[in-house]
Amino acid sequence: MILYLMKNNFKLISRNKLAVTVLLLGPLVTIAMLSGAFKEFMSSYKVPDEFSVGYRLNGMDADSTDALKDAGREAGIELCEYPEGDPEELINNNGLAAFVEFGDGEYTLYKSDDHKPEGAVTEYFFERAMNEGVNAALDMVSPAAEFSSALPETELDHMPAVDSTDYYGIIYILYFSCCGMICATGMLGSEKKNGIEKKYRVCSISDLGLLMARLLPTMGVVIVCTLIETFVTAALFGVHWGQPLVSALIVIMMILAFCCVGFLLHSISGNLAITVIGLFSVVWILGYLGGSFETYMYSSTSEAVKQITPFYHANRALVELSCMGHSDYVYSSLFFSSCIAAVSMILTIAVYKFYKKT
Amino acid sequence: MDEIIVKTTELTKKYNNKAVVDDLSLEIKRGEIFGLLGPNGAGKSTTMNMICSLVKPTAGKIELFGTGSKSRRREVIRRIGYIPQELAIHGNLKAWENAELFISLYGLKGEKLRAAVNDSLDYVGLGEKRSEYAKNFSGGMKRRLNIACAIGHSPELLIFDEPTVGIDPQSRNFILEKIKESNSKGATVIYTSHYMEEIEAICTRIAIMDNGRIIACGTSAELKKMVSGSEDITLEEVFLTLTGKKLRDIAD
């Protein structure tokens, strides 16, 4: 029973030419505009060949730093020791990109607002050096001396510089895909206008079945549109995706999550305009916090807020897969989207049941 | 003894403490075409919606096909065909796609579904238009498609909620003929309309509702005799005598 309903809903959705056109052209136009407009912006974040970083040892063996200094030099980081003084003042007065204060089993990194890219590279360098040894940090440049330290793990907060076309190409395909539920407006509008919801309620279809019969065809159309956009942007602009299967899984799960959010909003409001505005607002806000407009690497959004934003995890996973071939954010992205989808589905069915009772 | 298909006992529906349907008890037997007449706001649609499980009663009991069990709702509901007042079809689907969608909701699939789709479209005279989009149909054709979508699963109880609103006399006549034909094949019918001549032409028994209650029930002849003592008046006169001539500006 549900298969026939899904099949015909798929036809209804795909015949909504306006919504499908918006879904197809939206990312293409946005990517073309933004990747061009932000080319200079992104290239301004290119890290200079050499820059200076201050450091101070508080109880750490001075001999241990020699290997680190050698490795830093080869990576273009000049490590200068400053035994005294306020780190922030030292950064400002000496034109340092960052300052590292080593303590007992930990280190604190101070970064300059004027040298964000260099600060990010420094953080990346020390992260790898402290967690995996100098050799790992030197993978960026060349093999070097050994270094051992029992410092705690900290989170990786940097990735290599990424081209604006790749960044915005990937991010906007994801962004528009998450708004893709709008293509279901034709189907939902027809259901409401013609009193078809009543007919669903007088047949034996379950609430879950009804949700699936709406959700899966919507997702199907959005996925097809996303696939077309991906190929077109790859051909026209040279957008490069990494790990196609993993990237596809991340994008599909995000589509699922935000389609579910859209259907939840529709079940609560029963109004298409509110649903569309609500979904766009949710996606815009989460996208804003997660790097869809301002690149997440250099955005002013606090780390804590970024971490609770599903777009940050998905954007970061996709961009890192593209430029590094791997990402620690794949699982967290899938976790976030799965949770959003599950919670939204449960709530939607609860709302369906509530309205049925009343 | 005739089998009771629909039985309501002290059925009540209140909105904001105002009874829209008030203590309504009625029985509809197998093979009847039962007409429900009433002015706007009388409670006809609410009664129909409660019978179809679209609206939950505030009080009272509904038995369909001899059972009032909620656990058997799915089984019972498959034996009902509901033709709403709205044109419950998708304009962007072709006639056969609409029929397939709605008939499949009642559990038909594969060859049985294909046959049911073809039969129901032929039945309402849309067999040759099966591949046309519903949005291009005339009002009468849309009404017929609406009926085809609701009867494809061969329901035993057909519920028509004003199915002839806004269509030409030919289409209306065609629909009424088809309702009688369905009835002659064994379907029980509940029918609401504001057109008295339609009710009189096809209904075997008529209930007149007002203020949520049935104020009179019987055959057309019985109602006429009850009001004037003879059959020389029209059903409309019976209706106006029982419900009054005051305007009812209330949403039904």
Q: Who wins on pLDDT, B37 or A150?
A: B37
Please report whether residue A318 resides in a domain. yes
Q: How confident is the model at residue A47 (pLDDT cuts 50, 70, 90)?
A: low
- Asked if A186 and A293 sit in the same domain, the reply is yes
Out of A58-67, A134-143, A222-231, B25-34, least confident range: A134-143
Cβ–Cβ gap B53/A202 under 8 Å: yes
A331 burial class (0-12, 13-18, 19+ CB within 10 angstroms)? exposed
pLDDT digits 0-9 by tens, B172-211: 888 888 889 889 988 999 999 888 888 888 999 999 888 8
The CATH number linked to A65 is 3.40.50
Task: Give the count of alpha carbons within 13 A of A196, CB side only.
Answer: 24
Over chain A, what is the mean pLDDT? 80
The pLDDT of residue A290 is 79
pLDDT at residue A141 greater than cutoff 70: no
Evaluate if residue B147 carries a pLDDT over 70.
yes
A45 lies in a domain? no
B105, with CB counted inside 10 A (0-12, 13-18, 19+), is buried
Where in the sequence is the domain holding A64, given as residue range(s)? 51-138
Residues A117 and A193 in one domain: no
How far does chain A reach from its first CA to its final CA, in angstroms? 26
Residue A149 lies in a domain: no
Domain assignment of residue A67, yes or no: yes
Please provide residue A53's backbone torsions phi and psi, each rounded to the nearest 5 degrees.
-130, 130
Higher pLDDT, B148 or A29: B148
A300 with A230, same domain: the answer is yes
- Answer whether B77 sits within 8 Å of A1, measured CB to CB: no
**Which of A121, A138, A155 marks a domain boundary?**
A138
- Work out the number of other CB atoms within 10 angstroms of the CB of residue B197: 13
- Report yes or no on A156 lying in a domain: no
| pTM for the full predicted model | 0.74
CA pseudo-torsion sign B15, B17, B20, B21: positive
Nearest CA-CA distance, residue A267 and chain B, Å: 17
Q: At a CB cut-off of 8 Å and minimum separation 6, what does B202 contact?
A: B33, B35, B176, B179, B180, B183, B189, B191
Q: Are residues A246 and A310 in the same domain?
A: yes
Q: Best-predicted range by mean pLDDT among A46-55, A185-194, A335-344?
A: A335-344
Identify whether residues A296 and A237 lie together within a single domain: yes
Q: Is A140 exposed, middle or buried (0-12, 13-18, 19+ CB in 10 A)?
A: middle
Chain B positions touching chain A (beta carbons under 8 Å): 52-54, 56, 74, 77-78, 80, 82, 84-93, 97-98, 100-102, 104-107, 109, 113, 149-150
Does A28 map to a domain? yes
- Same domain? A348 vs A290: yes
Contacts of B196 (CB under 8 A, 6+ apart): B37, B234, B235, B236, B239
How much is the average pLDDT of A140-157? 36
Q: How confident is the model at residue A46 (pLDDT cuts 50, 70, 90)?
A: low
Higher pLDDT, B10 or B231: B10
Asked if residue A322 and residue A226 are part of one domain, the reply reads yes
What mean pLDDT comes out for the span A175-194?
90
CB-nearest partner of A204 from B101, B106, B113: B106
Query: Does position A22 have pLDDT exceeding 90, yes or no?
Result: no
The answer to whether residues A179 and A276 belong to one domain is yes
- Establish if A152 belongs to a structural domain: no
Query: Which pLDDT value is given to residue A144?
Result: 33
Mean pLDDT, residues A172-200 taken together = 89
Q: What pLDDT is stored for residue A257 in this prediction?
A: 95
Q: What is the structure's pLDDT at A38?
A: 63
**Residue A231 located in a structural domain:** yes
Contact B5, B29 (CB under 8 A): yes
CB distance B116 to B152 below 8 Å:
yes
Average pLDDT over residues B9-33: 91
Q: Do B101 and A357 touch (CB under 8 A)?
A: no
Over residues A243-294, the pLDDT tens digits come to 889 999 999 999 999 999 999 999 999 889 999 999 999 999 888 887 777 7
Backbone angles phi, psi at B28, to 5 degrees: -120, 125
Average pLDDT over residues A138-160: 39
Which tokens go with B142?
A: 């849309």
Statement to judge: residues A179 and A328 lie in one domain: yes
In chain B, whose CA is at the least distance from the CA of A192?
A: B88
Closest to A168 in 3D by CA, of A263, A103, A92, A238: A238
Q: Are residues A309 and A247 in the same domain?
A: yes
Task: Point out the domain boundary residue: A138, A171, A193.
Answer: A138
- In this structure, the answer to whether residues A58 and A32 fall within a common structural domain is no
**Smallest CA–CA distance from B97 into chain A, residue:** A8
- Look at chain A and report how many structural domains it folds into: 2
Contact assignment for A195 to B85 by CB distance below 8 Å = yes
* A20 plus A168 within the same structural domain: yes
CB atoms inside a 10 Å sphere around CB A247: 22
For residues A297 and A306, the answer to whether their CB atoms sit within 8 Å is no
Structural tokens at position A176: 């528009």
The answer to whether A71 touches A79, Cβ cutoff 8 Å, is no
CA distance B36 to chain A (A): 20
CB contact under 8 A, A196 and B90: yes
